[in-house]
Structure 1
Amino acid sequence: MSLQILYRDEHLVAINKPAGLLVHRSWLDKGETQFAMQMTRDLIGQHVYTVHRLDRPTSGILLFALDPETARHLTDAFASHRIQKEYLALVRGWAPLQQFLDYSLKEELDRIADKFADPDKPAQPAKTHIRCVARIELPFAVSPKHPSSRYSLVKLLPLTGRKHQLRRHLAHLRHPIVGDTSHGDGRHNRFFREQFECARLMLHHQRLSFRHPHTHELIVIDAPLDDHWNRRLHEFGWSA
């Protein structure tokens, strides 16, 4: 597995993380041997600092700082939502053309990692802008209730950063992301595996926009799509 560098200067480096790659070592995944943090460090020959999260099954932009001061600036910028993130997702059904979802989420707790966390913590605010950019109806009866199946290509702009926010918000709207084994629809996931040989979560962190912590220049980083994405777009006649 190789990494693509999307942006680099003396303070920052951004890579295009492949789906399935962990950001850093985790005792929950002891069998893994490849991690984005270590791979980026080896690629550029210097230590890197994590400043935000990207779920393992999600592909796309992963930003690292190259020094502690920059890391503090960026971590604070992410926490205060001064950094704009844009995602691309393939979802079940015909998603609304435009929607702003303000739907609070209770924290998802891991049975082991979060065993000391408060299970009664109230739901936290979670906000996402959703825009549908393409739709398709396929002549396959994935659900026994319908003779065909509908899918949408959506752009997602999260205004908060709750755990699995985009996946949970789309599931709440009954438009789960294809390939989501935690919050999605197993029938449609299986259809994409068997019909299109697509076994990944179809969620991609496509664009990151922010002010450089030192120069204050506007930085816009875009991440190209992988082969799974490009094949789906070609087959469905979509453009992203």
Structure 2
Amino acid sequence: MEKKQGIFKEFQSAYRINPGVALALLWVTVMPSVGSFSALPILINYSENLQNLVFSDYLVAISYLVLVTVLMGMALMPTTLVAGLSGFIFGWEAFPFLFLAYNIASILGYGWGKKLGGNSLDLILDKYPKAKTLIASKRNRMGELVFFGRLSPVLPFAVSNLLFSLLHVGWKRLVLFGSIGMLPRTILTFWAGTLGTDVYSAINQESISGKAWIFLLLLVLSLWGIWRFLKRN
């Protein structure tokens, strides 16, 4: 109970310092689930029609790029769900556009997070000088944190965008290290989608055996990398 009260007090403190950041955190936590539940019935009903679309049609390619960029960048749908559905509906011809959309969405999410956040993290960390000193000492190695953060299969894309914006990692580091870090799980999820026989099997990745071990490996690597980032001088 005391721990929960402590977390609630910290949230209240963050809200007093910058209500925008607190509301943004609530948004990136809740909205991807809301968007998923809203979109799935539509996708199930129209998946066959969507599968007839081809990316050789520039209008289709551009429309897909804009749509998935907004969905991911504004935290309206989880990136793993977008990747799985893209693989199932469109196949591998959509992957380059998904990769591009992912990076544009990273910049979009980082941009609005930075605009809302300002120097909120510094104000919050004023109460924790050791943590503030630790983060300041890692400024030149933020790319490492971005890479392992993106590699993690449990750290949501939208949440990490907000976190990276508060840390001011820089959009160049975000794109470079983030695009590399996200590739393993994105390729795996996209590949599972291409093997799916329906929407549910695509998003649940039922077609790939041993996927639990792969995600466990990515999780262990990401945790090790983040721990190394924090401990290494």
Fold match (TM-score > 0.5):
no
Return the structure number with greater strand share: 1
TM bucket normalised to smaller: under 0.3
Q: Return the structure number with greater helix share.
A: 2
